[in-house]
């Protein structure tokens, strides 16, 4: 990690453990991470919408079986592109093991294309980045819920309803992404120094849902970033084994479409949170990488963790370079407890 004063630190649970804690959830407020050690297995697969039953079943079973293999992570989503809805899955495995058993149900599903391989984290990050070219307008918003398949069906219905109203926008590519936060993942949050997210194992499991509608002008679209799923089997009801994070991401090309697209994305989040509250499934955690500019990320970590992050920031960055001089993203003491500048 390169600090504001130019010094380079190796950071882990034993070397500079307070900074290690802060980096695991603290965003770009402490330094510039230049290296992650080790290789892993991962990549993406794209599937036709006709694979919806198999993909939802695999997602459901993955969430239930995840405690058996804590090295696995998954993102799955549904998106509208070039006049149709499609699926994609994003896999990460923390060890360089080809096609680990935890993913076999997914990898046995025929796909249109696959990039699965052993690679460094930076290689996989570059692949994701390549599927998100610059120069387009884009909005993200997120919410987190306790796991329940019926709620996910409702959210998908909200998403499709809003997409139908904006699909005429130039270059539009909307995506509804679901990412499970399993109880096993949460159990590791407190290990190796812990992190600042404020999620306890007793809270899990969760579903992290980014709100994202992506619109692109180019008719040829690289879809490897997006993960698409259709309605799950009605028998796959709440299992209490995960909390998914939801993301709605939208890209588009014309400023004249800004208001209606952002409004559509906000309506998906609002309807989803209302449905979750009615089902007692809402959860107050905002995933920073998927958050919109009007969401208070660090306040969602809880007041104690937010204050601890501020104290660590003052220790390693006494001149507050990353708070005052670095533009963008979420600041520790911003409006509403942590808004981007």
Mean pLDDT over 276-302 rounds to: 91
Q: DSSP state, 202? A: G
d(CA 151, CA 176): 14
Q: What confidence category does residue 187 fall into, taking pLDDT thresholds of 50, 70 and 90?
A: confident
Q: Which residue has the higher pLDDT, 262 or 203?
A: 262
The three-state secondary structure class of 249 is strand
DSSP 267-288: HHHHHHHHHHHHTT-EE----G
For residue range 18-39, list pLDDT tens digits in order. 998 898 888 888 999 888 777 9
pLDDT for position 338: 55
pLDDT tens digits, one per residue of 205-237: 687 755 444 433 332 222 222 233 333 333 333
Beta-bridged to residue 145, according to DSSP, are 282
Spatial contact of 24 and 195, defined as CB atoms under 8 Å apart: yes
**Tens digits of residue pLDDT in 89-117:** 899 999 999 999 999 999 999 999 999 99
Question: Which pLDDT belongs to residue 209?
Answer: 59
pTM: 0.74
- Non-local (6+) Cβ contacts of 313 within 8 A are 22, 26, 29, 30, 320, 322, 323, 332
pLDDT top residue among 132 and 67 = 67
What's the confidence (pLDDT) of residue 181? Answer: 84
Cα pseudo-dihedral 237, 239, 243, 244, rounded to 10 = -40
On whether the CB atoms of residues 152 and 242 are closer than 8 A, the answer is no
pLDDT in the model for residue 309: 93
Report the alpha-carbon distance of residue 185 to residue 178 in Å, rounded: 16
- From residue 102, alpha-carbon distances to 71, 154, 181, 205, 297 in Å are 9, 27, 15, 18, 31
pLDDT for position 243: 64
Strand segments (E) across 8-136 = 39-47, 72-81, 84-93, 113-114, 117-120
Determine the Cα–Cα distance for residues 327 and 293; give it in Å rounded to an integer. 13
């Amino acid at each position: 990690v390169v600090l504001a004063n130019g010094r380079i630190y190796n950071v882990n649970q034993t070397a500079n453990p307070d900074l290690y804690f802060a980096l695991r959830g603290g965003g770009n407020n402490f330094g510039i991470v230049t290296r992650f050690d080790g290789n892993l297995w991962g990549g993406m697969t794209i599937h036709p919408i006709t694979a919806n039953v198999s993909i939802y079943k695999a997602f459901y079973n993955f969430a239930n079986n995840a405690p058996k293999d804590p090295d696995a992570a998954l993102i799955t989503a549904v998106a509208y592109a070039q006049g149709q809805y499609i699926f994609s899955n994003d896999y990460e495995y923390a060890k360089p093991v080809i096609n680990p058993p935890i993913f076999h149900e997914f990898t046995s599903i025929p796909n249109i294309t696959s990039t699965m391989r052993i690679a460094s984290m930076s290689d996989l990050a570059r692949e994701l980045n390549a599927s998100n070219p610059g120069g387009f307008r884009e909005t993200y918003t997120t919410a987190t819920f306790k796991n329940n398949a019926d709620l996910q069906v409702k959210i998908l219905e909200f998403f499709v309803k809003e997409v139908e109203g904006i699909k005429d926008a130039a270059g539009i590519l909307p995506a509804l992404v679901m990412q499970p936060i399993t109880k096993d993942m949460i159990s590791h949050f407190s290990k190796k120094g812990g992190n600042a997210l404020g999620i306890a194992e007793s809270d899990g499991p969760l579903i992290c849902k980014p709100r994202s509608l992506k619109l692109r002008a180019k008719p040829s679209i690289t879809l490897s970033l997006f993960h698409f799923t259709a309605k799950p089997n009605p028998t796959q009801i709440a299992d209490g084994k995960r909390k998914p994070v939801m993301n709605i991401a939208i890209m588009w090309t014309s400023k004249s479409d800004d208001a209606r697209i952002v409004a559509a994305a906000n309506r998906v989040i609002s309807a989803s949170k209302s449905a979750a509250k009615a089902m007692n499934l809402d959860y107050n955690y905002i995933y920073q990488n998927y958050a919109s500019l009007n969401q208070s990320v660090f306040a969602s970590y809880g007041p104690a963790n937010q204050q601890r992050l501020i104290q660590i920031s003052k220790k390693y960055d006494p001149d507050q370079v990353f708070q005052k001089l670095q533009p963008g993203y979420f600041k520790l003491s911003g409006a509403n407890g942590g808004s981007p500048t």
